[in-house]
Amino acid sequence: MCGKSWWSRLPALALAAALVPAAGLAQTSDKIRIGMTVSSTGSFALASQSGVRGVEVWVDDVNRRGGIEIKGKKYPVELVKLDDRSDKQMVTRVYERLIVDEKVDLVFAPFGSTLTAAAATVTERLGKYMMVWSAASDDLYKQGFKYMVSGTQMPVSAMLSASMALAGNLGVKKAAILYSDEPYPAGLAQSGKDQAAKNGIEVVMYEKYPKGQKDFSTLLQKAKASGAEALFPTPYEGDLISMTRQLKQLDINFPFIFMVYASTPQFQAIGADAHYIFSHTNYHPAINWKVTAGLSREEFAKAYDRLYPKAEFPPDFQTALAYGAAALTEEIIEKAGGTDAAALKQASLDLSDKVTVMAGPYAIDDTGRQLKMPFPVVQVLPGKGMAPVWPQDVAVQKPVYPIPAWDKR
Calpha distance 144→231 (Å, rounded): 35
Considering the domain delimited by 157-285+376-390, tell me its CATH architecture: 3-Layer(aba) Sandwich (3.40)
On whether the CB atoms of residues 217 and 245 are closer than 8 A, the answer is no
pLDDT digit string (tens) for the chain, length 409 residues: 333 333 334 333 333 334 433 333 333 479 999 999 999 999 899 899 999 999 999 999 999 999 999 999 999 999 999 999 999 999 999 999 999 999 999 999 999 999 999 999 999 999 999 999 999 989 899 999 999 999 999 999 999 999 999 999 999 999 999 999 988 899 999 999 999 999 999 999 999 999 999 999 999 999 999 999 999 999 999 999 999 999 999 999 999 999 999 999 889 999 999 999 999 999 998 888 899 999 999 999 999 999 999 988 899 999 999 999 999 999 999 999 999 999 999 999 999 999 999 999 999 999 999 999 989 999 999 988 899 999 888 899 999 999 999 999 8
Strand partners, 209: 180
Strands in 27-180 per DSSP E: 32-38, 68-70, 73-75, 77-83, 106-108, 130-132, 148-150, 174-180
On whether the CB atoms of residues 141 and 73 are closer than 8 A, the answer is no
On whether the CB atoms of residues 38 and 5 are closer than 8 A, the answer is no
With CA atoms as reference, report the closest residue to 109 among 33, 61, 48. 48
- Fold equal for 32-155+287-362 and 157-285+376-390: yes
On whether the CB atoms of residues 286 and 394 are closer than 8 A, the answer is yes
Could you please state the CATH topology (level 3) that the domain comprising 32-155+287-362 is classified under: Rossmann fold (3.40.50)
Q: Where are the domains of the chain?
A: 32-155+287-362, 157-285+376-390
